[in-house]
Structure 1
Amino acid sequence: MLSLNNLQNIIYSPTIPYVGTISEQLKPGSLIVVRGHIPNDVDRFQVDLQHGNSLKPRADVAFHFNPRFKRSNCIVCNTLTNEKWGWEEITYDMPFRKEKSFEIVIMVLKNKFQVAVNGKHTLLYAHRISPEKIDTLGIYGKVNVHSIGFSFSSDLQSMETSTLGLTQISRENVYKSGKAHLSLPFEARLNASMGPGRTVVIKGEVNTNAKGFNVDLVAGKSRDIALHLNPRLNMKAFVRNSFLQDAWGEEEKNITCFPFSSGMYFEMIIYCDVREFKVAVNGVHSLEYKHRFKELSSIDTLSVDGDIRLLDVRSW
């Protein structure tokens, strides 16, 4: 589970420039969390995931994450190999503000880094150097860092699919390029029906040109949909509804921040409370939905479909 609470090897108030060894190998699912504050006189700073810490010749940088505040506010990402920079990837959606605190979460995935700032998805960066080579973290420039933490969870290490606490009803897992993922449309029966305290977790990757997808909690006998979650990427709308007695109800759409982005990895947690469902995406609370379907114990089925690669589904 993507949790920013159980970080290991936390380094508090490091002096900048900071160069330190990363104690374990970064694998898919590993997180690096940097929390700090942007000073008023900032021009730029950078977080570098390096192979070694040599200055002459300069160590390779697998991932150079470089917010710049002069002229145009942007984040420049790049890779340094044999003292030569590659092509710059520039993000103009700038999440950092002068004199404000920040939290950067860098997540290592099998083929890319995924970065969120202040709980909001910011960018993806495809690996150009194998992340296994990264052994050093460098932070440079005008920035105040309060803490650096790591999570070396190997939850995603194999990215093997599992359906813990569910019994799959739909077709078998599809093996593509030697890696399993769950075929869509996916439908599974919960091993214990819904009720207060129950949790469902869906892990997946949003397709590159995704329009949307849906996650439904269904009462199997009546086929009523107690909770219909429908992120629409083309409209940046996170629609919630219920389908009761053969009719859709009124859509709920209000949300502070749309949490999905094309290409991103996500973990969606649905928690059932006495009065409502609570939904979090990548460790950040997203919404709550008051129960319209009151017989929680009749909700016994999960179905997922749409423009995603479904990697893992669990319930407990």
Structure 2
Amino acid sequence: MAFVAPPGYQPIYSPRIPYLGPICGGLREGMSIYLQGSIPEDITRFFINLLCGESESSDIALHFNPRFDGWDKVVFNTCQDGSWGSEDKIRSMPFCKGQAFEMVIMVTSQGYQIKVNGNDFHTFQHRIPVERVCAMQIAGDVSIQTINVIGVRPPLPEAFSLMLYNLSGQKLYSPVPYSNMIPGGMIPKRTIVIRGMVPYGANSICINFVVSRTRDIALHINPRVREGIVVRNSEIGGSWGQEDRELSLNPFMEGQYFDVSSVFIHSVSLMSIRCGNQRFKVFVNGQHLFDFVHRLQSFTEVDMLEIQGDVQISYIHF
């Protein structure tokens, strides 16, 4: 059960800006593009284009252009046959100079729904059929750590124990307990995205990042639904460490989804686990949930993800 990406698509980590790359298989309704990045202090502007070809001269189905020019705004537009359309100007700025951000571009039947740091920002209505989109371009004053294309529905052989859909598009949840190797391990800057739901009557969930060779648990995330807490810990050499319990919020509530894309669900949140040199950083719905400082010196040996307990998992994006 791993995230199902478009045919030939792999997550992009720390791309060089300016960036121009394909979205293999193209876009369609129900897909999302998830980006992690940061804004420099001296920013003037940057843009993200969804292109209808793999060259800079291709038609642009979505032009997303934050401008820090004294009248901070975000400009949306399209470009067809070399001619720009009428601009949508949103005189509000969801980004902050010198700060990191998480952004999701969700493809709905109406348009591109933009969320920044977990907050709805703007929906730009389709002017060009989304099926024409096959590439992405990013340029300007921005640093990007991760680009993930999420929420696709390609045909799959039955042998794959992955996120599956029936022909009507209804999600078929994958079984728990879950255990799978992490391709390439938890190297610095690696981000894992998990989508799932806490069913009614749930008691406890367990998410472990494990060293398969030693069975050490570098990060143990244990939402205890009935107690209303999220316990974090590690188990090294067969001994549990000191629990971390304090949190400003608990997103793991009965009947709630935790997710990257709100296209399929009613209550949206984002769970992403990012590995850094000093700590794991965990975000839910674009909001920082907690940091967990590495207790295992050889944290780069973490190569297995395990999930147990009262949870339904839709996909996991490595």
CA contact (8 A) 1:39 1:143 kept: yes
Deviations 1:109-139 (A, max 9, x none): 1231111011111110111000100111000
Give the distance between the partners of 1:66 and 1:128, measured in 2 at CA: 17
Tell me the distance in 1 between the aligned counterparts of 2:268 and 2:143. Answer: 25
Amino acid at match of 1:35: Q
AA of the residue aligned to 2:28: K
Write the distance in 1 (CA, Å) between the matches of 2:36 and 2:77.
22
SS in 2 for 1:149: strand
- Matched residues in 2 for 1:74 and 1:159: separation? 42
Query: Match of 2:11, SS?
Result: strand
Q: Is 1:282 aligned with 2:268?
A: yes
2:202 counterpart residue number:
196
Q: Compared with structure 1, are the counterparts of its residues 17 and 109 closer, same or farther at alpha carbon in structure 2 (3 Å cutoff)? A: same
- The aligned counterpart of 2:108 is 109
What root-mean-square deviation, in Å, do the aligned CA atoms of Structure 1 and Structure 2 show?
A: 3.7
Once superposed, which parts of structure 1, at least 4 consecutive aligned residues long, lie more than 4 Å away?
5-8, 157-165, 277-280
Q: Which position in structure 2 is the counterpart of 1:124?
A: 123
Match of 2:45 in 1: 44
Aligned pairs (5 A) from 1:90-239? 90-154=89-153, 194-197=200-203
* 3-state SS of 1:9 partner: coil
- Residue 152 of structure 1 and its aligned partner are, at CA, apart by 3.9
Q: 1:72 is matched by which residue type in structure 2?
A: W
Cα offset, 1:29, TM superposition: 1.2
Q: 1:29 maps to which residue?
A: 30
**Paired letter, 1:48:** N
Q: Which residue of 1 aligns with 2:14?
A: 13
- The residue type paired with residue 202 of structure 2 is P
Task: Please tell me the residue identity of whatever aligns with 1:82.
Answer: D
SS in 2 for 1:132: helix
1:53 deviation in Å?
A: 3.1
Q: TM-score, normalised by structure 1?
A: 0.51
- Note closer, same or farther for the CA distance 1:141–1:34 as it changes in structure 2 (3 Å cut): same
1:62 matched residue in structure 2: 61
Distance, in Å, in 1 between the alignment partners of 2:167 and 2:46 is 33
Change (3 A) 1:194 1:65: closer
Report the CA distance between 1:33 and its aligned residue. Answer: 1.2
**Partner SS, residue 80 of structure 1:** strand
Rg comparison, structure with higher value: 1
Contact 2:4 2:151 survives alignment (8 Å):
no
What amino acid maps onto 1:25 in structure 2?
Answer: G
1:138-190 alpha-carbon deviations (Å, 9 max, x no partner): 001111111111114239x999686999xxxxxxxxxxxxxxxxxxxxxxxxx
Give the alignment's TM-score, normalised by structure 2. 0.50
Identity over aligned pairs, percent: 32
Return closer, same or farther for 1:152/1:25 CA change in 2, 3 Å cut-off: farther
- Contact kept, 8 Å, 2:20 with 2:137, in 1: the verdict is yes
Distance in 2 between residues matched to 1:139 and 1:27, nearest whole Å = 20
How many angstroms apart in 1 are the aligned matches of 2:10 and 2:34?
11
The one-letter amino acid of 2:120's match is H
Map of 1:81 onto structure 2: 80
Mapped partners of 2:105, 2:132: distance in 1? 16
Structure 2: where are the runs of 5+ without partners?
154-162, 174-198, 205-247, 259-266, 271-283, 286-311
